[in-house]
Structure 1
């Protein structure tokens, strides 16, 4: 495994293969292991690392981009199709500063991106295998030989048996309801005093299971339940005992860049799902009319437009509508920007993170308040996760509806936007709704 300072040269070969079941390819993958899939995107499963890029601190976005530029500056790449091109997959921490000694995030650097040694890509009508080699010892012959051997192996993978669901035997909240009420009241007082316009406060729930968690199996179930969300799995190390993993199914896109067209959106304002279609629609109508939720949503839309304005020749805002998921409904507004110049997706990710949907306004004051208020490290929660390629194009989501796992323990996260008229008890109830996507798949 190579890091930022090593000599790097990419050799990549790809070929179409008989599609192994995605569940089988994921179960067979070696760590660092990854899974990425989004609505309208290819599904990618990564196994092992040809190279790993890491960075830390407030310059981590730029440092990762610079390292990737060096990585892709010289290479021998034959993909056969755009979908099978080499890509770097990974994510960032929510805050600039990150203590890797603090559980449960010890295995996750402030920024980490992996070029998989083996990459299986599923398009609408085909599957492709890509093998990447990096460094002076990587030759076209060796990579081609590995490609042939791996293709033969994948063609014979059996579909793994579905593992039984885990049982949650113990739950521990990091924040009591009383402490939550105090935090929300303090936040609304600061908003009323003009110190803040909005802040997103999060809580964590630690769940202990009756056995080791199979993160790849939870990921597969999330893909079945949330097909229109961004589903992800990042296992950064090969710790045989704990196998730390970050998994989730997030509805929130941060940035998708192709050429000079950037797609993003605002997702803020939440209600539950009804037991009947009629109740479901009634709740959606109530959400559309609710002044608190609409105000919170409009703040996010305006802020994203402001964050993009230095880069955009034009910005288009779509119609606000209700996004329905398995357990909740959200207000959603699509936003598209045409950029003035060519930009790297990481430049735009840095400009957009954190959106007010997971941070607040003004950003610096909100982030400082979050640091002072929350009793846990957000790690990669609510931060950008995704991928980018040699051209600087890529796709990133906001890592909400997620959990970090190790051994028989999973730590779940959920947050809500606080504005001046927020009610602490109502916001507490919303947090419980947002735990459900991960809890349902763990149990």
Structure 2
């Protein structure tokens, strides 16, 4: 299947100007501007919000990563910007899990790939907050952008530094897809494929529709996730006014900065205990489980082999990543790559990892398509940002949901291997809904 560029708006050159502003609520910033809207925050302290469209691209098909990169290279071929690095223009967006994804409920407005250069960008690093205004195309001028920046600064500085997130909307009912019986059948089918030797591992996911007592504001939901999951990557992508994809993912897919790739193999999980002693006991069970260590080891080996195509790889020590409601086995992996390597090259090389797909990759993808009774959309797919140098960071769209009005559709999955038990896997998937569900109930 060839890659098809969909909507593309404004080629280069790019003209951007920045100024420092007082701290401001990103929720107030996004609420004051029309869609599309974006937010990205990582544990290292970077927060970026973007609104409006200076330039955009959509793509589908097996070459969608290359299509986005080629368009971005042309867009950034000439950039008129000499401000601080923290405020530099960025393209924000992401990809669907499958390259032939077609937008449809609840994913209306989400193509197989979409990236936007925001008209206005708010970036915070440490105690500094920067406002950037960008324009693209032959009509973009420095004088015009400077006037737009002055207007945007006046508007932003009238916004509050804090904005109450309000009460949780409440959940009136939930509907899983598939139900438990259908899930059990799907897991047993996967186990039969594994026993037959066609498959080593497959990650099967589920969806949970939560009907709410009141409409949800996705920005407020993301803020509540920030308060509980500050050690995760938090993201929001709202291509239209009617729906937003958001989450707090523990999993970095890739960061590329100055020729160094950083990623992580995250697989295998247990819950949290009611005390530090119980936490430690569960973590030790995680470390000692042959099943979970094998599952995580497969992910490590696969990621390392893929990155060897791009550069020299180093694998760190295995540890336990402890979040507020779950613990995972985690192994850091890095690679030194050439200056021509773009973060989208890394993303294309890694997606989908065995942690969200399985092994062998093609057989796992076939099993997912044949087994799952819903559209994954952007769930478990790359979401993030990159700049004119090709540096950037992407997370895996886990612990995530699509919010639209008075309903939210949550997603979660689990790795199925030879000794998986359907009942245990079902229980573990329910645990992975809690980060978002807890902030709705």
TM-score exceeds 0.5: yes
Deviation at 1:29, TM superposition (A): 3.7
Between the aligned partners of 2:220 and 2:33, the Cα distance in structure 1 is 12
Name 2:346's counterpart in structure 1: 348
Preserved CA contact (<8 Å) 2:265 2:299: yes
Identify the match of residue 236 of structure 2 among 207, 219, 233: 233
Name 1:302's counterpart in structure 2: 301
Identify the match of residue 121 of structure 1 among 117, 120, 123: 123
Identify the match of residue 50 of structure 1 among 33, 51, 54: 54
Question: Within the alignment, does 1:192 sit opposite 2:191 as a pair?
Answer: no
Question: Within the alignment, does 1:163 sit opposite 2:161 as a pair?
Answer: no
> Normalised by the size of structure 1, how large is the TM-score?
0.96
Name 1:205's counterpart in structure 2: 208
Between the aligned partners of 1:115 and 1:130, the Cα distance in structure 2 is 11
Tell which deviates more after alignment, 182-191 or 103-112: 182-191
Describe the superposition over 1:126-158 as per-residue Cα deviations: whole angstroms up to 9, x where unpaired: 110000011222211111111112112212213
Preserved CA contact (<8 Å) 1:200 1:415: yes
> Normalised by the size of structure 2, how large is the TM-score?
0.96
Name 1:143's counterpart in structure 2: 145
Deviation at 1:50, TM superposition (A): 0.9
Structure 1 vs Structure 2 CA RMSD: 1.4
Between the aligned partners of 2:49 and 2:439, the Cα distance in structure 1 is 20
Between the aligned partners of 1:245 and 1:118, the Cα distance in structure 2 is 19
Deviation at 1:8, TM superposition (A): 3.1
Describe the superposition over 1:53-86 as per-residue Cα deviations: whole angstroms up to 9, x where unpaired: 11111111111001101111123223x2111000
Question: Within the alignment, does 1:177 sit opposite 2:176 as a pair?
Answer: no
Describe the superposition over 1:273-314 as per-residue Cα deviations: whole angstroms up to 9, x where unpaired: 0011111111111111011111100000000011111111x2
Preserved CA contact (<8 Å) 2:263 2:332: yes
Between the aligned partners of 2:98 and 2:164, the Cα distance in structure 1 is 39
Name 2:3's counterpart in structure 1: none
Alignment: residue pair count: 435
Name 1:290's counterpart in structure 2: 289
Identify the match of residue 154 of structure 1 among 152, 156, 159: 156
Preserved CA contact (<8 Å) 2:399 2:436: yes
Preserved CA contact (<8 Å) 1:311 1:341: no
Deviation at 1:161, TM superposition (A): 3.4
Matches within 5 A, 1:22-421: 22-78=26-82, 80-100=83-103, 102-158=104-160, 159-238=162-241, 243-312=242-311, 314-340=312-338, 342-421=340-419
Between the aligned partners of 1:341 and 1:260, the Cα distance in structure 2 is 6
The answer for unaligned runs of 5 or more in structure 1 is none
CA spacing shift, 1:325–1:20, aligned 2, 3 Å: same
Preserved CA contact (<8 Å) 2:9 2:56: no
Between the aligned partners of 1:342 and 1:303, the Cα distance in structure 2 is 23
Preserved CA contact (<8 Å) 2:233 2:395: yes
Describe the superposition over 1:208-267 as per-residue Cα deviations: whole angstroms up to 9, x where unpaired: 1112210010111111111110000000023xxxx2100000000000001221000100
Between the aligned partners of 2:11 and 2:320, the Cα distance in structure 1 is 49
Between the aligned partners of 2:294 and 2:188, the Cα distance in structure 1 is 18
Deviation at 1:6, TM superposition (A): 4.6
Describe the superposition over 1:152-178 as per-residue Cα deviations: whole angstroms up to 9, x where unpaired: 221221343332111111211111111
Preserved CA contact (<8 Å) 2:10 2:55: no
Describe the superposition over 1:82-121 as per-residue Cα deviations: whole angstroms up to 9, x where unpaired: 1100000000010111122x21112100000011110010
The answer for unaligned runs of 5 or more in structure 2 is 1-5
Preserved CA contact (<8 Å) 1:107 1:236: yes
Between the aligned partners of 1:121 and 1:7, the Cα distance in structure 2 is 23
Between the aligned partners of 1:306 and 1:161, the Cα distance in structure 2 is 46
